Amino acid sequence: MSDNDTRDRALWDGDRGELSEISRRALLELVKGPYLSALKSAQLWSALLADESAITSRLHELFLELVVDRIAGFAFVRNADTGELDAPATVRTHNLTYLDTVMLLALRQMLLAGDSGERVIVGRDDVFDQLRVYRTSDRDEHEFDRRLNASWVKMRNVLRVVHSAGRMDEEDRVEISPVLRLIVDADQVNAIAKVYQHIIDTGSEIVDAVEDDEDTSEDGTGVA
């Protein structure tokens, strides 16, 4: 881009940016995370698709790669697979308890079980009931419910993988975001399967898999 073109795109005195204002906002939303939604941010989504090549180039300069699902209407960034290059981890992850991860997996299974292209709406109690099998004999029921509630809040407010289904009289019913099809990968599925089998075999949790119940999530876009 020429100096004249750069000056034409300038948003303030001395601005050397080459993207339009709306494309910069789309780029910023991706970096802030956890994802960009076509439904929630239609203008930013349109800017992303119109300027995808330039936005991808800028993400690569930060050692990030762009993941776009045009059918489901969402996009997010993750640390680029740089092979043997020792690149910095640009995306800082959210530390999750093992129960957070179990809940992510349960929500993903519910999403995959739904009809393709249709909204998947579930109730909080339905999700909690599926996870009660993970309460071990050394865990008080009241304490376990508290941990479930903490994980549920994280799903809604931090990771934003569920959101209100739209009815004020049914606050506990949520729609599962289709982004879960991609952000929970096969390695996480296998890890949870091992935790579940350990509980069946021993009746107790894997100590190394359990984080403190305080909120240990970091500011950033990823999930760990």
Among the three residues 33, 52, 79, which one is the final residue of a domain in this structure? 79
Are 104 and 64 in the same domain?
no
pLDDT for position 22: 96
Are 64 and 220 a contacting pair, CB within 8 Å? Answer: no
Check whether residue 17 and residue 111 sit in a common domain.
Answer: no
Residues 100 and 164 reside in one and the same domain: yes
Same domain (yes/no): 73, 109: no
Helices and strands counted in the chain (H then E) = 9, 8
Domain, as residue range, for 144: 93-223
Q: 37, 56, 79: which is the final residue of a domain? A: 79
Residue 211: DSSP 8-state? P
Q: How far apart are CA 187 and CA 178, in angstroms?
A: 19
- Give the closest residue to 184 by CA, choosing from 123, 112, 81, 135: 112
Q: Are residues 120 and 187 in the same domain?
A: yes
Task: Quickly tell me which residue has 């100590």 as its tokens.
Answer: 207
Residue 73 and residue 33 in one domain: yes
In a domain, 18, yes or no: yes
**pLDDT score of 185:** 63
Whether 166 is in a domain gets the answer yes
Three-class HEC string of 130-176: HHHHHCCCCCCHHHHHHHHHHHHHHHHHCCCCEEECCCCCCCCEEEE
CA atoms within 13 A on the CB side of 148: 20
Place of tokens 């995306």: 91
pLDDT at 164: 84
The per-residue pLDDT for 46 is 97
Q: Are residues 205 and 100 in the same domain?
A: yes
CATH number for the domain including 52? 1.10.10
For residue 5, the model assigns a pLDDT of: 54
CB 154 within 8 A of CB 99: no
Residue 84 domain-assigned (yes or no): no
CA-derived radius of gyration, the chain: 20
In this structure, the answer to whether residues 134 and 69 fall within a common structural domain is: no
In this predicted model, what pLDDT tens digit does every residue of 202-221 receive, in sequence order? Answer: 655 554 444 434 333 333 44
Q: Give me the number of domains the chain comprises.
A: 2
pLDDT for 47 equals 97
Q: Is residue 85 part of a domain?
A: no
Q: At what angle do helices 124-131 and 141-157 cross, to 10 degrees?
A: 130
**Is 21 within the bounds of a domain?**
yes
> Look-up: residue for tokens 């249709």?
118
Residue 64 placed within a domain = yes
Task: Answer for the pair 52, 66: CB distance below 8 angstroms, yes or no.
Answer: yes
**pLDDT tens digit string along 64-79?**
999 999 988 889 998 8
Q: List the chain residues with pLDDT less than 50.
A: 169, 207-224
Q: Do 192 and 169 belong together in one domain?
A: yes
pTM: 0.67
